[in-house]
Structure 1
């Protein structure tokens, strides 16, 4: 631990005691922050500046004349509305100037309204439908994002065309509706005026008929009474005749007998009179029944007439009748409101959850994390990773050297994170719901990123630095910092949960826009889980790579051009079994090593040449496959893997070559030197 603290103290003393080093250190702390700040400022709210996007508009519409719409020039209406719209830089010009301007790059896009636009727009009213068209010219070469903005301009014009069409159609529909309402209102008025009068007359006639029926009924009743009396008198007379006939027959007088016979001859007449009276009575009864039924029907008819009169009275005062009259005179119709309803019958109510005030705030987590990663790359570019020895550093181990310089790196990492996060909040006033959580996420992200970069770079040297660059390349599209991860190819969707940016960005989003349950701490935990593998690389794998790294530094130093660590740690020793073998038979071991070295040297150049050829040939093969198949990302990954594999092959070749040279050096040492090396191992 003393060595670790001494290295850290010495590093700080060296930096603080050198004015130029202080200036460079300040630059190291602030340069990555500038990367984040300039990008955040540039993307603060770009959609507020779309008025500078020039779009040419050429109106060639000749207008049209239609019975339903009258004179109409939809192109003029569109131009009139666009002049009130300052969302984009509309430039009104002719057709040829607009198209040539797009080709030349003077305009991002051009919109041409053709000559027959209005005529096609109202063709639906004539039954011969012709879809109106607008010509849209787009210069996609000029800028990658601009087409998305100009598409909005085209959509704006299309919306205005839709509104114009709806307005024209609504006016025609309203006029037709008013005509129908006028006719219905007039018919209703006539019905309301004439029908009550006719109903009154009908009711009077029914009342008169009812009076006549009542008089007839009384007459029938009186007639039935008279018939009853006549029937009784006739029966009495018939009985008297029969009695007189019997009495006359008893006298035995001829005249009396003849008179009796005359009385008997009157019996059929009495029977006929009885039948006649019965029939008359039956007819009177039927007449009375008919009169009663007719009176009942007339009563019901009178009730129905009264009901219809009441309904007419209610209808005259009803809201629907009033609405019909208002519809007829146009007082209840608003063409603008009807047009708006027809064009957009449904209003969407937007409820923004975790609202973000501008685009710059939304992009801050991405650019902040990117700047924190750049901070680590700047550190390994400016600060040495290997520790140089002095008289105070005795028996320095690889782990002590690692943590000694690690503390210096972490100090810079914390300072860089604090500066970047503070600048985000103070300079640009980005939205942040939880400032301590935002700083904590930034500091943890910087701690993890710089640890990863430091461990990879010090363990694998230039290869590790290349891996750090490759990681940032993969994390830009794979972390969903800009586009939703669902919009990216499957390769990046699979890579998304394995990247530290994913959790650093999400943790900052939680702190800035608002937290949901324990998601912030979950992202922080997942971000921290990258640390154990990083320490395994730096503390476990690095000691095994010391000789290989020293070899690379030595080879790079020989070029006199490439950067290398001249004071890198080494494990300048061979295995104990090798030392014992040398001591037991130094001459034979030396001869044996010489034979192996000579044999390897014969093939050494061939092995290197084959590796170089593989580096050239394999990428070409995968490059051809990338353009001939659809799964381009798969072959791109295979291309990178093949390069890494070839580099690993060349590294092994070079390591074997260096190992043989080291064994030869040991074989060339004296016995005393070998014994001293053996004592150091015991």
Structure 2
């Protein structure tokens, strides 16, 4: 009870001391100001990008590609007008240059005159990539330029997708041309089949008539032989000769008509073969263009893969350089803090010397009249004033160095994200290159097959030309045969009327009949071979027509639609599925800055509130320990409540559990307060310097910004040794992840830290005893 009484009297004395009371009220808002200012400034910077002015200049003249007008620059401008990325200002080149020189614009995006023209060179022998010129004003704001480079990369991807859509549409048009060629070739093959069927029918009729001719000739031969045996059978033989010759004349006339049909069918077949050859030639030319385009695509994707590989290495070097720069700025900040402490001691000593001289002069009239003493007094006062100004300047330098380190830490985070994104883009480019090579191989095989079809069509046309010439010759000879048969019929008539002449020419007639029999036999055999060849021609043309129609159907199924073009231009999309989503920068950095604010608040509290003294004379060490501990605990409690309320209701922080968030903030604040109280109680001013060192180490090892795995090896060892490591992770659990098991575990660890430091402070007050009057003076003058 006496300890509580001492605490109450100390609080009463503090309330009566207006200066101390105002200072106590002010320190309650240190964590609020520290964490609130930082979090408020960086709560959602990307949500305000529409206020960042960016100049856009379009000088693209457009181009023509495959009879289509291509204006990629204008399409990019329309895309930017519908994009909420920056505050786009579409101006002339002169206005953009003037705005950059006057720091009106943070960056300029220039679309050159040949932008569309270069975009059409993909299928050329030496393609030239289209360029978007990005001009960041890095001297005006380096971070804005880095954000802009990321935005320009996204714009480049959109433009590339648009250009790829144009090329894909052209490619599908070529495939449609190939399909039309196959269809025309199939139609020609069908016409060949129809002509071959007609030729087959004519050849069958020809064979039948020639068989009749051979039979008639044999009968004629058999009829002549009896004539040689006697004149008595002359009338009957003459009649048979007349009938046989008439039959021969009719058969030859029919054979001549059938030959005309065969010749017409051959002409039709030749026309069909010509159409087939034309269609196959067009198809082969289209396939050659496709193959050339795909070869250019393979070369382009290979160059893209190599370029992205270099970019991956560059981003890795950028990340490494920024990490080194951040470490250097951290060392600079630590050194400046050391210098601040030293300049404080110098300023205090100089002030003490000046005050001592002043007191000495005022106490001695003789010294006051001494000129040299007056100069010495003025010099000491000037030194004291200069030391104070030096101390203030060094404090500003230390604050600037700390802010520099924080900015570089954020840059390292951006470089890491950039390196990860470029690595993923390189992986996608490799997959695209493999697919393009496979498509090129398939197109090459298609082209080779079409070349073979063209060669076969040329051979078929040559064979049909020879067949037509043979049929024309056969037709001319068949006319002679018809004329001969008619003459034979006339001769048989004369034989029937004049047997006298028959006896004289019997020997000649017998030889002629034998010749006719042999010739008709040969004609019959040749007609059989012609029929077999026409059957093969019909079967082959049917198979050719079937295959060509199948090819036409398969290529005709490849239809180009807007969805297909978009798929070719952007075949891979990333489906992001966030786990424990963090809505903005402020939410992500709250565990770090809130822990930092509470720690700084504890440090400032020990500067304002007396550490050891009491307003009660002869208070025991235990009473002073209880009074000081309750005082610091109360202030830490209020600081935690105010800071938590600010981020919850002023900044709009969303947490998993509000009561747990308040509880964790209170335990964090008390742990930091007991830590600071212990070092300052035992070591006084040097203790505050040690606290600053601990603060710096915690800022670098607590993994509040970057993962602990990215820290140097010797800093990883220090990570589990400081309480801010557990406060940052615990805040993440109660704010974002909802992992209350980890939160309670970290609460236990921080309670162990707090209890250990509280015991150390207790030991000091038990072991050290102070004069009561000194304690009271310290309390009342602090």
Q: TM-score, normalised by structure 1?
A: 0.59
8 Å CA contact 1:111–1:135 kept in 2: the answer is yes
1:18-417 aligned within 5 A? 25-66=24-65, 68=66, 70-191=68-189, 193-194=190-191, 197=194, 324-325=555-556, 327=558, 332-334=559-561, 336-388=562-614, 390-391=616-617, 393-394=618-619, 396-397=620-621, 399-417=622-640
Q: What root-mean-square deviation, in Å, do the aligned CA atoms of Structure 1 and Structure 2 show?
A: 4.4
Structure-1 residue corresponding to 2:761: 538
- Whole-angstrom distance in 2 between the partners of 1:3 and 1:177: 98
Q: Match of 2:135, SS? A: strand
Deviation at 1:96, TM superposition (A): 4.6
Quick one: structure 1 residues 199 and 160, their matched pair in 2 at CA, closer, same or farther if it must change by over 3 Å? same
- Whole-angstrom distance in 1 between the partners of 2:703 and 2:202: 91
Question: Alpha-carbon deviations, 1:278-314, whole Å to 9, x = none?
Answer: xxxxxxxxxxxxxxxx9xx99xx99x99999799889
Count the aligned residue pairs.
467
1:600-619 aligned within 5 A? none
Return the match for 2:684 from 442, 457, 461. 461
Structure-2 residue corresponding to 1:267: none
> Is the helix fraction higher in 1 or 2?
2
Structure-2 residue corresponding to 1:521: 744
Unpaired runs of 5+ residues, structure 2, are 213-527
Which one is further off, 527-536 or 343-352?
A: 527-536
- Whole-angstrom distance in 2 between the partners of 1:109 and 1:509: 36
Q: Match of 1:129, SS? A: coil
Structure-2 residue corresponding to 1:5: 4
- Whole-angstrom distance in 2 between the partners of 1:487 and 1:209: 95
> Larger RCO: Structure 1 or Structure 2 (Cα < 8 Å, ≥ 6 residues apart)?
2
Q: TM-score, normalised by structure 2?
A: 0.52
Deviation at 1:103, TM superposition (A): 4.2
- Whole-angstrom distance in 1 between the partners of 2:626 and 2:196: 112
Which one is further off, 470-479 or 49-58?
A: 470-479
Deviation at 1:49, TM superposition (A): 0.7
Question: Alpha-carbon deviations, 1:391-414, whole Å to 9, x = none?
Answer: 5x45x12x5423321111111212
Deviation at 1:379, TM superposition (A): 1.6
- Whole-angstrom distance in 2 between the partners of 1:69 and 1:497: 68
Question: Alpha-carbon deviations, 1:580-628, whole Å to 9, x = none?
Answer: xxxxxxxxxxxxxxxxxxxxxxxxxxxxxxxxxxxxxxxxxxxxxxxxx
Return the match for 2:693 from 448, 457, 470. 470
Q: Match of 2:589, SS? A: helix
Deviation at 1:361, TM superposition (A): 1.9
Structure-2 residue corresponding to 1:479: 702
Deviation at 1:69, TM superposition (A): 5.9
Structure-2 residue corresponding to 1:605: none
Question: Alpha-carbon deviations, 1:197-244, whole Å to 9, x = none?
Answer: 3675588799999999xx9xxxxxxxxxxxxxxxxxxxxxxxxxxxxx
Structure-1 residue corresponding to 2:276: none
Deviation at 1:509, TM superposition (A): 0.8
1:513-662 aligned within 5 A? 513-516=736-739, 518-535=741-758, 537-540=760-763, 565=778
Deviation at 1:195, TM superposition (A): 6.2
Q: Match of 2:560, SS? A: coil
Q: Match of 2:89, SS? A: strand
1:511 aligns with 2:508: no
8 Å CA contact 2:180–2:552 kept in 1: the answer is no
